[in-house]
Amino acid sequence: MRGQTYLQRSRHGVYYLRVVIPKPVRTALGLRRRELKRSLRTKDKQQARIKLASWMNAMTKVFENPQEDWQRKHEEELARYRRGHTLIEEYGVFDPDHELRFDMLAQELTTDELKDYIFALEYDQAYEARKYKPSGTGSEEAEKPTRATRVQNHLDPQLQDDKISTAIDRFAAHKRLTANTATADKYVSQCKLFLNIIADGHQDMLLSDLTIERMQTYVDTLSKLPKKISPNDPRPIAELIASTGSKMSATTRAAHARAVNMFVGWCRDQQYRIAPNLGRILAPVLKKRKSSKLRKLFTDAELRSLFESEAYKKGAFTRDADYWLPILGVFTGARQAELCQLLSSDIRQDPETSIWYIDINDNGDKRLKNESSRRHVPLHPEIERLNFIRFAQRAADNPGGKLFPDEKRNARGEFGAFSKRFNRYKERQGIKNTSSTKLDFHSLRHTVISNLLGQGCEEHIVNDIVGHSQARRSESAQTYKEGARLEAKHDVLLKLCYGFKLQPITQSKAST
């Protein structure tokens, strides 16, 4: 395999593969990054070598003879560009809004000449803009087809056409390779609802039949649908619209529109015959609601309601997670999923500083949001005072050594059951969402960040505690040793100041 390959180890002890790719190879494969990294998800060096060999064998064919392939492709494209640029100089730049010029161009040029013309035009546009980005990459902005793309979609008779339902299945297969299964299934579900709306039961509709008018019908229909709807709902769309009850929120509509926008962009990238400008119809739906109008922090009074309730005083929780997770959340700022998947072995004591901390990692079947999510979070003395360490040590006997074995991921990979229980508990304490507030478990994370920054704590240390990206971390902060960083984070967490008091529970399953 071309390129320099390294087997390296992260600061958490996990081995990963790093490949430095030469420029000709990057150009031949269409890669922008100079390096590729792949976690081998193991701390055992022997296992890492086995996984490395397997990965190298799988990628060997991809990197075979890239220099020769690149040279041949480069020469062909250069000749094609010169032919196309000659035609542009002779016939001028195509105006996509001028239908008469469109007909004249189609009559004057042969099919091969037209393809060369489009190739040169698209290259010039990409070179001038320096920001050409294929649609369907997950961006929340609506796709903006280039002039050459519009020409290609209208003029090339060889573009592939297919059923929308078939294209959705292929789009799903693509997403399962680039995203987790739960996310891919969500996109497919949203696209199938899109098809039900525009086709109204006719599943044989072709991509070429997808018009701006049908896309506008989809946008108009979303706001009239029920709050919760299944793509397999047998009822006609008209019946769903006529149903009573809450309608789909702006946030949910935006999520559906993003999935459809990705699907449309993917179809364009796959050279399907699909009309231009469809993504622009989705633009108004894709706009996010301004979160600045919503209060996402718990006040001191609300925190007292949560943690000084009778349930906390008496330990009247049926599940360990219901007692411990809110406490961990308000004293660490960790994400709900990060806490739900913790193992007993993740609660550790640093041998140099004797500080107890939570090792948040993605070992085994655990998942993290991003690279910055891997971190060590010191335990606040309040958590230690509540006998959490003893609870964690006894949890080693649980199935898989999990702290909270009763908490399971749903089909979307989320810990939805706990989230619902926490929201119901919050509402029983009189804390309800309104038009100006949106409070959930994640609000504890916002509360921690706001509390620490409000006291003047250094932002890069707060980011390290909660697992935000470290773009603003200074050079000196990046060179801290692990022990020193742990002490710095511990000192910052000691500044967390709340107006509620927690009492250790002696006769509770959660505290024993």
CATH number at residue 328: 1.10.443.10
User: What pLDDT shows up at residue 105?
Assistant: 63
Q: What share of the chain is helix, strand, coil (3-state, %, to 5)?
A: 55, 10, 35
User: What pLDDT shows up at residue 47?
Assistant: 78
CB-count exposure of residue 80 (10 Å: 0-12, 13-18, 19+): middle
Shared domain for 78 and 199, answered yes or no, is no
Shared domain for 373 and 480, answered yes or no, is yes
Shared domain for 170 and 239, answered yes or no, is yes
User: What pLDDT shows up at residue 180?
Assistant: 65
User: What pLDDT shows up at residue 484?
Assistant: 47
Asked, for residue 295, whether it belongs to a domain, the answer is no
Shared domain for 281 and 210, answered yes or no, is yes
Q: Is the pLDDT of residue 311 over 50?
A: yes
Please state, in angstroms and rounded to a whole number, the distance separating the CA atoms of residues 85 and 120. 6
**Strand-by-strand arrangement of the 347-349 sheet:** 347-349, 356-360, 375-378
Asked, for residue 457, whether it belongs to a domain, the answer is yes
Kindly report the average pLDDT of the chain as a whole number: 77
Structure tokens at 296: 């996402």
Structure tokens at 354: 């004797």
Q: Is the pLDDT of residue 80 over 60?
A: yes
Mean pLDDT of 477-483: 43
Structure tokens at 313: 């005083």
Asked, for residue 141, whether it belongs to a domain, the answer is no
Helix, strand or coil, per DSSP, at residue 480 = coil
Residue by residue, DSSP assigns 364-401 as TT---SSGGG-EEEEPPHHHHHTTHHHHHHHGGGSGGG
Q: Is the pLDDT of residue 125 over 70?
A: no
User: What pLDDT shows up at residue 201?
Assistant: 60
Structure tokens at 180: 């987790």
Candidate ranges 130-134, 136-140, 275-279; pick with highest mean pLDDT: 275-279
Helix, strand or coil, per DSSP, at residue 320 = helix
Burial pattern 441-457, b for ≥16 Cβ within 10 A else e, equals bebbbbbbbebbeeeeb
Of 159-173, 365-379, 444-458, least confident by mean pLDDT is 159-173
Structure tokens at 457: 């704590």
Contact 319, 406 (CB under 8 A): yes
Choose among 402, 124, 170: nearest CA to 267: 170
User: What backbone phi and psi angles, to 5 degrees, belong to 138?
Assistant: 95, 0
Residue by residue, DSSP assigns 396-437 as GGSGGGBSSTT----TTSS-HHHHHHHHHHHHHTT---BTTB
Q: Is the pLDDT of residue 424 over 90?
A: yes
Side-chain half-sphere of 59: how many Cα atoms within 13 Å? 17
Of 4-13, 390-399, 459-468, least confident by mean pLDDT is 4-13
Tell me which of 343 and 37 has the higher pLDDT. Answer: 343
Shared domain for 36 and 125, answered yes or no, is no
Asked, for residue 294, whether it belongs to a domain, the answer is no
- State how many domains the chain has: 4
Candidate ranges 135-144, 174-183, 460-469; pick with highest mean pLDDT: 460-469
Contact 386, 379 (CB under 8 A): no
Shared domain for 419 and 467, answered yes or no, is yes
Domain boundary among 64, 95, 114: 64
Collect all residues with Cβ–Cβ distance below 8 Å to 420 and sequence separation of at least 6: none
Collect all residues with Cβ–Cβ distance below 8 Å to 271 and sequence separation of at least 6: 159, 160
Contact 480, 356 (CB under 8 A): no
Please state, in angstroms and rounded to a whole number, the distance separating the CA atoms of residues 113 and 139. 34
Shared domain for 191 and 74, answered yes or no, is no
User: What pLDDT shows up at residue 26?
Assistant: 64
How do residues 36-75 score in pLDDT, each as one tens digit?
A: 777 777 888 877 777 777 776 656 555 555 445 555 556 6
Amino acid making up residue 48: A
Shared domain for 315 and 445, answered yes or no, is yes
Collect all residues with Cβ–Cβ distance below 8 Å to 61 and sequence separation of at least 6: none
User: What pLDDT shows up at residue 329?
Assistant: 95
Choose among 438, 440, 460, 439: nearest CA to 449: 460
Q: Is the pLDDT of residue 94 over 50?
A: yes
User: What pLDDT shows up at residue 72?
Assistant: 59
Tell me which of 445 and 33 has the higher pLDDT. Answer: 445
Collect all residues with Cβ–Cβ distance below 8 Å to 127 and sequence separation of at least 6: none
Q: Is the pLDDT of residue 175 over 50?
A: yes
How do residues 353-386 score in pLDDT, each as one tens digit?
A: 999 999 999 888 888 887 788 899 999 999 999 9
User: What pLDDT shows up at residue 82?
Assistant: 78
Asked, for residue 151, whether it belongs to a domain, the answer is no
Q: Is the pLDDT of residue 4 over 80?
A: no
Shared domain for 26 and 98, answered yes or no, is no
Contact 17, 5 (CB under 8 A): yes
Mean pLDDT of 283-311: 79
Candidate ranges 99-103, 209-213, 372-376; pick with highest mean pLDDT: 372-376
Asked, for residue 121, whether it belongs to a domain, the answer is yes
Q: Label residue 503 by pLDDT band (50, 70, 90).
A: confident
Of 137-141, 238-242, 418-422, least confident by mean pLDDT is 137-141
Shared domain for 433 and 493, answered yes or no, is yes
Please state, in angstroms and rounded to a whole number, the distance separating the CA atoms of residues 37 and 19. 7
Q: Label residue 301 by pLDDT band (50, 70, 90).
A: very high
User: What pLDDT shows up at residue 389?
Assistant: 94
Shared domain for 362 and 476, answered yes or no, is yes
Asked, for residue 154, whether it belongs to a domain, the answer is no
Shared domain for 235 and 284, answered yes or no, is yes
Q: Is the pLDDT of residue 122 over 80?
A: no
This prediction has a pTM of 0.54
Of 9-23, 206-220, 486-500, least confident by mean pLDDT is 9-23
Tell me which of 201 and 228 has the higher pLDDT. Answer: 228
User: What pLDDT shows up at residue 58?
Assistant: 59
Mean pLDDT of 487-505: 87
Q: How far is CA 11 from CA 7, 14, 110, 201, 361, in A?
A: 14, 7, 60, 55, 12
Q: Is the pLDDT of residue 276 over 90?
A: no
Please state, in angstroms and rounded to a whole number, the distance separating the CA atoms of residues 239 and 246. 15
Please state, in angstroms and rounded to a whole number, the distance separating the CA atoms of residues 471 and 478. 10
Q: Give, rounded to a whole angstrom, the gap between the first and last alpha carbons of the chain.
A: 55
Domain of residue 14 covers 4-64
The helix (run of H) or strand (run of E) holding residue 71 is helix 66-91
Tell me which of 392 and 162 has the higher pLDDT. Answer: 392
